[in-house]
């Protein structure tokens, strides 16, 4: 889906909009035989007919036929150059999420204040601080291995971690990727207790693999042999740290590091070298036991200022003295620690708040039922596919059957991963609670299957909170996630017309499901492994898929983006081909499911024709928007600091899809026009 609101579905909140009264009049060839008894659509048909421009031939420009009058009469905001109906719907989803209140979370926020010396909060913070040191075994450690395991135990109890660990899926189970994590995370050069801006985030493993799928094959286990070399000889300090955390080193992976002539290994080599060198430089086994203890205490001491105002002053003075040679004077900052805890550790807790307060269980169940309906429809379409071999069909069906649907929120929450602040009295207790909760989640999911943990794995990436205004397919998990944004009003409403629910609501399912089989998704098997051959059982099948994808590229590249304002500027067909395949495949799938539903419900004659038309009218409403030259230059052509968008513009997302669907020609009796494509030229992929 498009970033932020740029492809937000048209709003469904206006139940007072006039019902279309004369769409039947649009039938060029009305049914002449006596009408049979037919079903009635029990839902609201809210699409406003006044948005349409019936002077436009639907076969020439279906998008403008559906929303042309609204386009003409809607001014563009001067500062955005883009507007859709959803722009004006208040409150926005983000505003709804931000307005949520939760007593537990509010308790955390209320603790973000400096404690006076001798106060209950200061005493509680000091007691916890001392207790962690005592339980870690650091003071009694006599060997280097014991010192590093003590650091791991500290991390498990909430001390700033030396190893940042991320879950991923490999070999049928959840494994853990570890990289070095600097302790200096919650201090700031700003003397005020304001959040300011957090530092630029390092990319997660998932983000790195999305940019370079070859990295997946160079993740190697910490214990044992993987890739081209034995890892323990390279990174023994990490092994001892994760053992202290209570994790099995056999479940820990790092990026392989070795000198290679392969261009694809350059990035991997650089990233792996940084991780290994950082662990070995900071916790070198060449150091004495006492020197290694001092290094470990650096991690332990980073939280010292958050015990009380007195410890803050002592730490600030110490830090300033040690860094004066570099001209650096850092100050402990509660505003920053609050923001950091929320961004880096709080996504799982906030997800639970959103799920509890916004998403009804009944809606989640409805959506899961729709997902299974679409899966069954897609499976039948694969079986009926005329251009694929039986081997490829089997691979595709197995991948579809293994696909996980993350709907709304996880089916099961990990209670140990939800910090409880009801008994905490100080910022330090809250900081430790957040960090412990994350380690608890890792321990709970490691070794589990993809099906059990797919949603949790998504939420563990702090760039995809449950408040994300998006829906997304992850090829590495073979799972798609429908966040609450897309299963709540104004998107889904069980009381609205079937046509709207299928064309707007279910098309999100179909789109994301088809991403598993687009130009990128088709390169991954059912378990999320990147393969040179992908799902294709033969080179002939792969070549035919590529040929059809190229046809779609040429189809979209033939459309003028803004013919009046930017004559001759064509749509971007190559960059958008993956999304266009998902749009077309998703629509074909959902329309088939919709026809099955209409048949089962007993629609016949004119009412069946009307319901077919309403489906396509609702689909156009989904992308109702107006945009101008600046917007096209930014998002289509990628001028300035932006890369070209991988999604087509709204007009092409409608016209490019319907022009290749037999059902659209049938519904509106299209026999010619600028969009017309002969039956043999209509592109069929999935």
pLDDT tens profile 593-618 = 999 999 999 999 999 999 999 999 99
Q: What is the predicted pLDDT for the residue at 557?
A: 96
- Of the chain, the percentage scoring pLDDT greater than 70 comes to 86
Name all domains of the chain by residue range, CATH numbers in brackets: 23-89+360-407+465-681 (3.40.390.10), 115-347 (no CATH)
Q: What is the CA radius of gyration of the chain?
A: 28
| Mean pLDDT, rounded, for 390-413 | 97
Answer whether 635's CB lies under 8 Å from 42's CB.
no
| Mean pLDDT, rounded, for 195-202 | 58
Answer whether 48's CB lies under 8 Å from 18's CB.
yes
Answer whether 572's CB lies under 8 Å from 643's CB.
no
Q: Is the pTM of this model over 0.85?
A: yes
Q: What is the predicted pLDDT for the residue at 216?
A: 84
CA angle 240, 244, 249 (to 5 degrees): 55
| Mean pLDDT, rounded, for 459-475 | 88
Per-residue pLDDT tens over the stretch 212-271: 887 888 888 888 665 555 444 567 899 999 999 999 999 999 887 544 445 554 555 556
Per-residue pLDDT tens over the stretch 513-526: 999 999 999 999 99
Cα separation of 470 and 539, whole Å? 35
Q: How confident is the model at residue 193 (pLDDT cuts 50, 70, 90)?
A: low
**pLDDT > 90? residue 291:** yes
Q: What is the predicted pLDDT for the residue at 680?
A: 97
Q: What is the predicted pLDDT for the residue at 402?
A: 97
Q: Which residues contact 216 (CB under 8 A, 6 or more apart)?
A: 209, 476, 529, 530
Pick the closest to residue 293 from 420, 403, 142 (CA basis).
142
331 versus 403: the higher-pLDDT residue is 403
Q: How confident is the model at residue 492 (pLDDT cuts 50, 70, 90)?
A: confident
Q: What is the predicted pLDDT for the residue at 17?
A: 27
Q: Which residues contact 244 (CB under 8 A, 6 or more apart)?
A: 148, 149, 150, 151, 152, 153, 154, 155, 156
Q: What is the predicted pLDDT for the residue at 14?
A: 30
Angle, in degrees to the nearest 10, between helices 450-459 and 427-445: 150
Q: What is the predicted pLDDT for the residue at 272?
A: 60
Cα separation of 602 and 41, whole Å? 11
Best mean pLDDT range from 254-258, 304-308, 654-658: 654-658
Per-residue pLDDT tens over the stretch 33-43: 444 578 999 89
Strand-strand pairing, 82-84 and 331-332: unpaired
Average pLDDT, the chain: 86
Q: Which residues contact 112 (CB under 8 A, 6 or more apart)?
A: 334, 335, 337, 338, 427, 430
| Mean pLDDT, rounded, for 91-99 | 90
Per-residue pLDDT tens over the stretch 24-75: 333 344 444 444 578 999 899 999 989 999 999 999 999 999 999 999 999 9
Answer whether 685's CB lies under 8 Å from 547's CB.
no
CB count in 10 Å sphere of residue 398: 14
Cα separation of 597 and 591, whole Å? 10
DSSP 208-264: HHHH-GGGGGGEEESSSEETTEESTTT-HHHHHHHHHTT--GGGEEEE-----S-TT
Question: Which residue carries 């302790």 as its tokens?
Answer: 183
Q: How confident is the model at residue 186 (pLDDT cuts 50, 70, 90)?
A: low
Residue 397's alpha-carbon distances to 358, 372, 385, 686, in angstroms, are 34, 14, 12, 12
Cα separation of 85 and 8, whole Å? 9
Phi first, then psi, for residue 565 (nearest 5°) are: -85, -30
Q: What is the predicted pLDDT for the residue at 257?
A: 59
Q: Provide the β-strand partners of residue 625.
A: 84
Question: Which residue carries 């998990």 as its tokens?
Answer: 477
Q: How far is CA 543 from the centre of its chain?
A: 30
Q: What is the predicted pLDDT for the residue at 6?
A: 34
Q: Provide the β-strand partners of residue 530.
A: 524
Q: What is the predicted pLDDT for the residue at 666?
A: 98
Pick the closest to residue 575 from 503, 642, 487 (CA basis).
642
Q: Which residues contact 296 (CB under 8 A, 6 or more apart)?
A: 138, 147, 148, 150, 151, 154, 283
Q: Provide the β-strand partners of residue 496.
A: 44
Q: How confident is the model at residue 187 (pLDDT cuts 50, 70, 90)?
A: low
- Of the chain, the percentage scoring pLDDT greater than 90 comes to 66
Strand-strand pairing, 404-407 and 471-474: unpaired
Per-residue pLDDT tens over the stretch 101-149: 999 999 999 999 999 999 999 999 999 999 999 999 999 999 999 999 9
Instruction: Name the token pair of 657.
Output: 């899809």
């Amino acid at each position: 889906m498009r970033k932020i609101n740029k492809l937000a579905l048209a709003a469904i909140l206006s139940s007072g909009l006039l019902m279309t009264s004369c769409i039947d009049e649009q039938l060029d060839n009305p049914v002449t035989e006596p009408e049979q008894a037919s079903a009635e659509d029990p839902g609201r048909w809210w699409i406003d007919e006044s948005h349409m421009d019936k002077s436009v031939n639907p076969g020439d420009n279906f998008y403008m036929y559906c929303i042309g009058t609204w386009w003409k009469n809607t001014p563009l905001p001067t500062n955005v150059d883009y507007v859709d109906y959803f722009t004006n719907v208040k409150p926005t989803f983000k505003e709804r999420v931000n307005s949520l209140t939760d007593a537990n979370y509010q308790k955390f926020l209320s603790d973000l204040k400096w404690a006076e010396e001798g106060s209950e909060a200061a005493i509680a913070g000091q007691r916890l601080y001392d207790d962690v040191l005592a339980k870690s075994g650091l003071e009694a450690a006599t060997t280097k291995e014991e010192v590093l395991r003590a650091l791991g135990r500290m991390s498990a109890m909430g001390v700033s971690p030396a190893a940042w660990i991320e879950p991923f899926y490999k070999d049928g189970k959840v494994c853990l990727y570890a990289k070095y994590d600097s302790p200096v995370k919650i201090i700031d050069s700003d003397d005020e207790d304001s959040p300011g801006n957090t530092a630029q985030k390092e990319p997660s493993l998932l983000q790195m693999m999305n940019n370079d799928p070859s990295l997946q094959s160079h993740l190697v286990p910490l214990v044992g042999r993987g890739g081209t070399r034995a890892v323990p000889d390279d990174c023994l300090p990490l092994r001892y740290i994760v053992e202290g955390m209570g994790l099995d080193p056999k479940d820990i992976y790092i990026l392989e590091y070795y000198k290679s002539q392969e261009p694809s290994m350059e990035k991997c080599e650089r990233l792996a070298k940084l991780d290994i060198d950082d662990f070995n430089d900071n916790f070198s086994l060449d150091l004495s036991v006492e020197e290694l203890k001092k290094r470990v205490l650096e991690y332990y001491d980073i939280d010292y200022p958050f015990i009380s105002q007195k410890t803050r002053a002592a730490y600030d003075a110490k830090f300033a003295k040690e860094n004066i040679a570099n001209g650096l004077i850092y100050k402990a900052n509660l505003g920053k620690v609050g923001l950091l805890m929320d961004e880096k550790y709080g996504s799982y807790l906030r997800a639970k708040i959103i799920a509890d307060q916004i998403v009804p269980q009944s809606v989640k169940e409805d959506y899961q039922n729709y997902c299974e309906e679409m899966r069954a429809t897609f499976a039948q379409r694969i079986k009926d596919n005329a251009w694929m071999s039986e081997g490829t069909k089997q691979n595709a069906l197995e991948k579809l059957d293994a696909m996980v649907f993350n709907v709304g929120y996880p089916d099961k929450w990990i209670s140990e991963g939800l910090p409880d602040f009801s008994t905490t009295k100080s910022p330090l207790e809250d900081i430790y609670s957040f960090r412990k909760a994350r380690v608890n989640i890792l321990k709970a999911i490691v070794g589990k299957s993809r099906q059990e943990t797919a949603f949790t794995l998504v939420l563990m990436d702090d760039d995809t909170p449950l408040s994300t205004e998006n829906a997304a397919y992850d090829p590495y998990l073979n799972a798609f996630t429908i966040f609450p944004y897309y299963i709540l009003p104004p998107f889904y409403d069980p009381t609205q017309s079937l046509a709207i629910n299928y064309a707007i609501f279910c098309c999100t399912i179909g789109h994301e499901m088809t991403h598993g089989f687009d130009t990128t998704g088709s390169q991954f098997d059912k378990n999320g492994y990147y393969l040179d051959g992908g799902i294709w059982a033969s080179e002939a099948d792969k070549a035919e898929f590529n040929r059809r994808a190229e046809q779609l590229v040429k189809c979209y590249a033939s459309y003028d983006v803004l013919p009046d304002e930017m004559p001759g500027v064509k749509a971007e067909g190559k960059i958008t081909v993956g999304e266009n395949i998902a749009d077309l495949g998703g629509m074909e799938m959902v329309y088939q499911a919709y026809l099955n539903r209409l048949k089962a419900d007993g629609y016949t004659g004119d009412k069946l024709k009307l319901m077919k038309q309403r489906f396509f009218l609702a689909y156009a409403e989904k992308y109702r928007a107006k945009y101008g030259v600046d917007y096209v230059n930014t998002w289509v052509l990628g001028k300035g600091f932006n890369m070209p968008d991988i999604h087509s513009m709204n007009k092409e997302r409608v016209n490019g899809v319907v022009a290749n669907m037999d059902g659209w020609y049938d519904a509106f009796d299209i026999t010619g026009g600028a969009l017309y494509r002969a039956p043999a030229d209509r592109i069929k992929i999935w």
